[in-house]
Amino acid sequence: MLEITPNTIAFLVFALLSVGGALGVVVSTNLIHGALFLIVSLFGGAGLFVLLAAPFMAAVQILVYIGAIAILIIFAVMLTRSMTSLSEIFNRQWWISAIVAVVMLGLLLVGAILPVWGPSGTNAMLPVSDAVGTTVDLGIALVDGNQFVLPFEVASLLLTAAMIGAIVIARDNE
């Protein structure tokens, strides 16, 4: 059984967020809602990265998706205003996606559970990065020349580009 620790609770919350968000994307008929749900789902994923001791992946996920993409998505959706209020389902093959999704889920489950309870029976220890650490460490890593300064700078460029893009699209044509 699962122990109730803060970690477990956090995992549950993030898992809920990512799965729920994903569900929302699929179910929602409103495009803008779908986009927002996507962000929620991605955020949940980012949280899971933190729990998996991959803080940088989490940071990237948040930086890029909640930062850049969110801005862009809102503006992008805004410029296709006509599409936001559609509630009709155009797609009659939704069941195919359902099947595929279930198959995917099954595969993932097999992939995730087999190593743990598989015939080999060993609870394979996945290598864990040493770079587990605090936010301070993360901050240092982002500007340390030995670590992630280049991705960090490029990510900031990316944010700039996204901002420009959003403004360009949303701005009325004079």
Q: Which residues bind other proteins (CB under 8 A)?
A: 38, 42, 49, 52, 54, 56-57, 60-61, 64-65, 68-69, 72-73, 76, 79-80, 90-91, 93, 96-97, 100-101, 103-104, 107, 111, 114-115, 118, 120, 124, 126-130, 140, 143-151, 154-155, 157-158, 160-162, 164-169, 173
Residue number, 1 or 20, with CB nearest to other proteins: 20
Question: 63: which DSSP letter?
Answer: I
Residue number, 1 or 134, with CB nearest to other proteins: 134
The 10 Å Cβ neighbour count of residue 139 is 11
Taking the complex as a whole, the smallest distance from the CB of residue 6 to other proteins amounts, in Å, to 22
Please state, in angstroms and as integers, the Cα–Cα distance from residue 168 to each residue in 33, 66, 161, 172, following that order: 23, 19, 10, 8
Taking the complex as a whole, the smallest distance from the CB of residue 24 to other proteins amounts, in Å, to 14
Classify 4 as helix, strand or coil.
Answer: coil
Taking the complex as a whole, the smallest distance from the CB of residue 93 to other proteins amounts, in Å, to 7
Residue number, 16 or 101, with CB nearest to other proteins: 101
Sign of CA dihedral 73, 74, 80, 85: positive
Cα–Cα distance, 174 to 25 (Å, whole number): 35
* Residue 32, both tokens: 């803008």
